[in-house]
């Protein structure tokens, strides 16, 4: 079955202005996805890693790219196709709480 990486963007302000019943339904939806085997987690502070020309590892704390909304979390899911992955993502907290979810098809090598 195809795999997808979902990146959720959202902030507390969007979450807070979303009605509680919608937030609760979204969290229940995420719990059901976890029971199906979807791996998901809340984003913490990233570390950038570089090793130019194999000359030595350089690290820097913080995201490489910035956005109006911070990254809130990630998930790795299996779905029969992109449409099912969209359906899964559309009911998650970031999607319903004024955020955005990017879905990236993962092509395994």
Q: E strands within 51-94?
A: 58-61, 71-78
Q: For residues 90 and 25, give the distance between their C-alpha atoms in angstroms, rounded to a whole number.
A: 12
Q: What is the pLDDT of residues 8-67, one digit of tens each?
A: 999 999 999 999 999 999 999 999 999 999 999 999 999 999 999 999 999 999 999 989
Residues found in the chain: 109
Mean pLDDT of 92-97: 97
DSSP 53: G
Q: Judge whether 96 and 8 are in contact, CB under 8 Å.
A: no
Give the SS3 label for residue 24: helix
CATH no. of 3-106? 3.30.70.1060
* Sign, CA torsion 84/71/100/12: positive
**Tokens of residue 58, six digits:** 């350089």
Q: What is the pLDDT of residue 108?
A: 82
Domain boundaries, the chain: 3-106
**Tokens of residue 68, six digits:** 């109006």
């Amino acid at each position: 079955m195809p795999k997808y990486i979902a990146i959720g963007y959202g902030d507390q302000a969007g979450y807070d202005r979303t009605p509680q019943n919608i937030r609760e339904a979204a969290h229940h939806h995420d719990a059901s996805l976890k029971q199906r085997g979807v791996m998901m987690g809340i984003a913490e502070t990233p570390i950038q890693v570089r090793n130019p020309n194999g000359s030595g590892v350089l690290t820097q704390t913080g995201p490489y790219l910035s956005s109006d909304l911070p990254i809130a979390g990630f998930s790795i899911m299996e779905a029969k196709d992109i449409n099912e992955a969209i359906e899964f993502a559309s009911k998650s907290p970031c999607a319903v709480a004024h955020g955005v979810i990017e879905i990236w098809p993962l092509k395994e090598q």
